[in-house]
A and B are shown apart, each in its own frame.
Chain A
Amino acid sequence: MQNLGFAYAIDPALRRLYADPGQRSEALRRHLATFNCHPYTAAAIVGGAIHHEELVAAGEEPPGAPFEYKQVLQGPLAAVGDGFFWAGLRPFFGALAAVGALLLGWPALVAALLLYNALSLWLRWTLFRAGYRAGDDVVLRLASLSLPAWAARLRDGGAVLAGVGAGILALFATGRLGIAAGVLTIAAAAAGGAALWLRARLLPAAYVALALGTAVGILAVRFPGGR
């Protein structure tokens, strides 16, 4: 499906570059070939493909050049996008929004989402512009952003935020049900974390925690200290 999305994105540029409907259809057909990339870093390829289409329209490059450009870059840019945006930036802001919502309510949640979108839109625009201006040299521009190094920092920061979230959730449980519930939250985080690191499946692990926690709750309400 990304080929259709790519054709949809580049069509306004093709309409400006090719006045002749036949040439435009031919150009559009080039961009209906299989395409698979990260939706954010694909912005660089859209920019670069427009750069090459301009050269094709001016007769300075053969018609196959934009296709070759896309073929060469889609894999590496997909890997960069997955590593930085999907495994770093977005989960970091997800964890930040979760911690903010737990502590401060919806204003913190809205602030985290606005910050994420400002940053990601700026990066997407930067990637598009780099592709359009630099063409084949977009890889060098991309390297100057040091995205893998930032991704590693975001992953460490995200693990810290998840830990803060665990602490807050335990404090909430303590406030609602007593110290036993807080201890249970931390014990579940430790046991569940160990199970997940040993590759247990997520939803079954969550259901087991729910069932065991409820069983502990049945015992806890029968003894002093529970409620």
Chain B
Amino acid sequence: MDYLVVAVVAGLAAVERKGFLQAMLARPVALAPITGLVLGDLPGGLLIGPPLELLWLGAVNMGASLPPNEALGTVAITAGAVLAGQALGTGVTPAIAALAIALVGVMATVGRSTDRAIEEWNVRLAARAEALLSRGMPRAAVRTNLYGLLLPFAVSALLAPAAAAIAVWVIPGVLHGIPAAAAPLGYGWAALTGVAAAAGARAFRSQRGIGLFAGAAALTLAVGRLAGGIR
């Protein structure tokens, strides 16, 4: 049942991302908590979403370039981490999040390849619409647009649960087999979030970006330390 829910969330995210609404619901910062919520672990989704958003802040469809499919990657990572956390009885920890990204983060790249294939396939729909118009069926021709959303839905609905299943299969085995790995993996997660923040800054391509990023980070650390830190 959980994997069916993951499939539906991933499919709807694929439609929202490029076809309907485009209201940021398929961005990692929203999609990870949504995935966590529907699987019963909102805090787990909130742990993963912000770093993934910063990591993929530059994943935008400009001109003919295709970005990584951050929505597919996010659902696969979050679902894998949440379900693995539930299997372990710990919820999502930084170690589980780190392993989930290591195992299925590549789905974002796989998703870019499938996006390209889908775009090429969907070109046929325009020819179909022209044919319907020539046969005097304008309403059917216009509705052809909606069929273009089916393939992204189906591909994401298949890939995301499959990838999550891999994470659920591997992560409990690793953390049960090597319990001492949890703390070092927590450090790995810390390093990954640092790179994610830097990637976020770079995505803005601001001329003063490096200075603003470094200054804001230093100021936040100073204020945070004065306030007694964050837990």
Contacts and interface: CB of A to CB of B under 8 A. Distances in A.
Given A158-B206, A192-B198, A203-B68, A102 B50 contact: yes
B184 A168 contact: no
A181 B22 CA distance: 37
Interface string A8-22: 100100000000010
Interface stretch (A24-32, A50-58, A59-67, A132-140): A24-32
Interface in A109-149: 109, 113, 116-117, 120
A182 B224 CA distance: 12
Nearest to A158: B204
B218 to A, nearest CB: 7
B60 A86 contact: yes
A32 B123 CA distance: 12
B60 A181 contact: no
Interface stretch (B4-12, B83-91, B104-112, B155-163): B104-112
Contacts of A163: 197, 201, 212-220
Given A163-B213, A177-B183, A189-B194, A213 B106 contact: no
> Looking at chain B's contact residues, is the secondary structure mostly helix, strand, loop, or mixed?
helix
B194 A206 contact: no
Nearest to B98: A210
A120 B199 CA distance: 24
Interface in B26-73: 27, 29-30, 33, 42, 46, 49-51, 53-58, 60-63, 68
Given A163-B217, A164-B217, A184 B190 contact: yes
B190 A173 contact: yes
Contacts of B141: 7, 28, 32
Contacts of B229: 171, 174-175
A73 interface: no
A152 to B, nearest CB: 8
Given A1-B125, A187-B194, A220-B187, A8 B145 contact: yes
Interface in A176-203: 176-177, 180-182, 184-193, 196-197, 202-203
Contact of A94 (B57, B138, B180): B57
Given A117-B24, A171-B229, A185 B191 contact: yes
Interface centre among B49, B122, B125, B189 (most CB of A within 10 A): B189
B144 A4 contact: yes
Nearest to B123: A1
- How big is the A interface, by class? 35 or more
Contacts of B108: 203
Contact of B55 (A109, A180, A202): A202
A210 B126 contact: no
Nearest to B195: A192
A87 B194 contact: no
Interface in B174-206: 180, 183-206
A95 B27 CA distance: 11
Contact of A181 (B46, B68, B187): B187
28 contacts: A25-B138, A32-B141, A97-B24, A99-B50, A113-B30, A155-B209, A156-B204, A156-B208, A158-B200, A159-B216, A162-B57, A163-B197, A166-B213, A166-B216, A167-B217, A167-B219, A169-B194, A172-B231, A173-B190, A185-B191, A189-B217, A192-B195, A197-B202, A206-B105, A206-B192, A209-B195, A213-B188, A220-B184
Interface of A: 1, 3-5, 7-8, 11, 21, 24-25, 28-29, 32, 39-40, 78, 82, 86-88, 90-95, 97-99, 101-102, 105-106, 109, 113, 116-117, 120, 152, 154-156, 158-177, 180-182, 184-193, 196-197, 202-203, 205-207, 209-218, 220-221, 226-227
Given A168-B224, A213-B188, 14 more contacts: A29-B130, A32-B126, A32-B141, A91-B57, A162-B54, A162-B198, A177-B183, A177-B190, A186-B217, A188-B190, A189-B194, A189-B198, A196-B198, A206-B196
CB-CB nearest 6 A-B residue pairs: A167-B220, A213-B191, A217-B187, A163-B216, A217-B184, A188-B194
